[in-house]
Amino acid sequence: MNELYLMIPIRKKKMMKVSFLSFFILFCLLGLTFSPIQATEKNLPQRSWFVDMTKFQSSSHGRISCSECHPDIEEKGVKHPNSNLLNRPSTLLYDYKRCEKCHPQVYQRYLKGEHAKALVERKKDAPTCGNCHVSHYVVSGQSRLVLGRWMTEMCGKCHLSEMRTYLENYHGKAAASLGHEASAYCTDCHGAHTCLSLKKKEVALEACKKCHPNAQLRFTDYVIHASKEGVKKEDVEKLNKLTILRWIEIGFGIIVFVVLAFFYSHTLVWILRKVHEWLKRN
Ligand code: HEC
Ligand code: HEC
Ligand code: HEC
Ligand code: HEC
Ligand code: HEC
Ligand code: HEC
């Protein structure tokens, strides 16, 4: 009888330790894989030849007549449907200069940006208005958070590695993942239509200063997109910074490993001792 009484608490303790351990391991694994924002195909804007009139009418363009943006529909002599139209994506066919009439400033800003430059240089996939906005369903006055999360995925379609590093970085974690609107979304630093390259420190500093007014040139040494993907060989400074970051990461990795290894082996030895004691008693 006595022995049985003794056994129960020890078993319970052991069970508690084992379950605590498994919870800890599970928690670590979850931490490694869990990310609130994930770019999936189904979250990206889809287009089809079907125009959802309810959605169209409740959009910012809902009161504009079709012919305002599609003057060619009304032109006599143009066949509709036209096989040329049906065979190619409408974003490639549409003349986005038509947007200028109502959005002149945005249009002018776009023309000065890196995307327009890439388009002129005929780089594949350089975006025009239609790559970023689905013109039939645009909605004005959305919250900063909604716009921010939308653009993270939308820009991330083409700049996958920048999206990933942004989401791993302080600003992305705070702004996109946790919804802290004071932190920075892509366009706070790069601009939506101006689309600035921030490789030059002076340009980057101007962007940082919007929210870090006391920043000095050294402040821009902070690496926002910590990935070698797409970094050119001539960009020695960034590559060096990434190497240092890598070594720091490895250093911390070793420390964490040693600490965990010590405590796990300690626990294992402790369990063995308890088992040993228990066996001795029986
Ligand atoms: C604000 C301008 C605008 C208005 C208003 C507009 N469209 Fe469009 N439409 C576009 C643009 C731009 C495209 C090319 C795709 C894109 O960028 O979204 C397009 C594409 C289309 C397409 C090709 C399929 C597609 O979605 O890509 C159809 C069909 C179409 N529009 C029909 C209509 C009809 C019908 C109306 C009126 C109910 C209408 N549009 C009103 C700008 C407009
Ligand atoms: C006939 C005028 C007109 C034309 C042409 C037009 N728009 Fe608009 N657009 C508007 C109006 C009006 C609004 C609503 C503005 C508001 O509510 O502040 C708007 C709103 C928008 C918004 C949402 C703005 C926001 O506040 O988030 C986007 C994006 C947009 N338009 C893109 C386009 C694109 C792309 C084209 C070209 C295919 C285009 N527009 C052509 C009149 C026009
Ligand atoms: C690379 C993606 C991208 C392209 C290309 C782009 N936009 Fe935008 N646009 C955005 C984003 C992101 C926002 C909202 C967030 C912001 O303003 O920072 C926006 C906001 C807007 C707005 C409302 C806010 C404002 O500044 O008035 C309008 C109108 C607009 N876009 C029209 C256009 C037109 C017209 C074009 C083509 C000349 C265009 N956009 C091209 C990404 C883009
Ligand atoms: C449809 C694809 C596409 C989308 C969407 C897109 N971009 Fe781009 N972007 C490009 C291409 C293509 C280039 C030119 C790349 C090059 O020069 O190598 C470019 C260039 C850039 C550059 C300059 C890069 C350089 O090396 O000079 C920046 C910054 C940038 N994009 C930011 C953004 C932001 C911010 C958004 C969202 C608001 C966005 N892009 C959305 C395709 C895209
Ligand atoms: C806090 C400011 C900040 C935010 C937010 C940010 N970036 Fe950047 N980005 C930079 C800086 C600074 C550089 C230049 C240094 C470098 O290449 O790391 C850069 C570089 C880039 C480049 C290529 C190189 C170039 O010429 O500038 C692209 C493309 C880009 N960012 C896209 C994005 C996209 C897409 C997002 C959102 C998912 C984003 N950035 C969010 C600051 C930012
Ligand atoms: C839209 C606003 C915004 C922009 C633009 C912005 N940041 Fe930040 N950043 C924040 C906020 C908010 C924090 C949170 C810390 C705080 O409250 O000071 C932060 C934090 C940081 C931190 C963490 C250290 C700290 O101060 O607590 C660094 C480093 C940083 N930003 C660098 C940059 C760099 C470099 C740029 C320019 C390329 C930049 N930021 C652009 C809003 C911004």
Domain boundaries, the chain: 54-140, 142-230, 234-282
pLDDT at 138 over 90: yes
Other Cβ atoms less than 10 A from the Cβ of 181: the count is 12
Ligand 2 pocket member 224 (CB < 6 A): no
List, in order, residues 6 or more apart from 20 with CB less than 8 Å away. none
pTM for the full predicted model? 0.84
Ligand 4 pocket mutation, candidates 155, 163, 231, criterion most atoms within 8 A of CB: 155
What is the distance between the alpha carbons of residues 148 and 153, in angstroms, rounded to a whole number?
9
Ligand nearest to the CA of 218: 6
**Ligand 6 pocket check for 171: Cβ under 6 Å:** yes
Ligand 1 pocket mutation, candidates 44, 48, 70, 82, criterion most atoms within 8 A of CB: 70
Measured from the CB, is residue 184 less than 6 Å from ligand 1? no
Question: In this model, does residue 50 exceed pLDDT 60?
Answer: yes
Relative to the CA of 163, which ligand 5 atom is closest?
Answer: 38
pLDDT value of residue 276? 95
| pLDDT over threshold 60, residue 31 | no
Ligand showing the shortest atom-to-Cα distance for residue 45: 1
Tokens read off for 47: 């287009």
Instruction: Tell me the per-residue pLDDT of 204-262, one tens digit each, with 9 for 90 and over.
Output: 999 999 999 999 999 999 999 998 888 888 888 899 999 999 999 999 999 999 999 99
Residue among 127, 130, 120 at smallest CA distance from 190: 127
Residue bearing the bigger pLDDT, 152 or 282? 152
pLDDT at res. 5: 41
Cβ neighbour number for residue 5 with a 10 Å cutoff:
8
What number does the ligand 1 atom closest to the CA of 129 have? Answer: 17
Percent of the chain beyond pLDDT 90? 59
Q: Are 166 and 175 within 8 A, CB to CB?
A: no
Per-residue confidence (pLDDT) for residue 25, from 0 to 100: 61
Task: Give the ligand whose atoms come closest to the C-alpha of residue 148.
Answer: 3
Q: Give which of 156, 155, 162 is closest to 228, Cα–Cα.
A: 162
Residue 145's pLDDT band, with cuts at 50, 70 and 90, is: very high
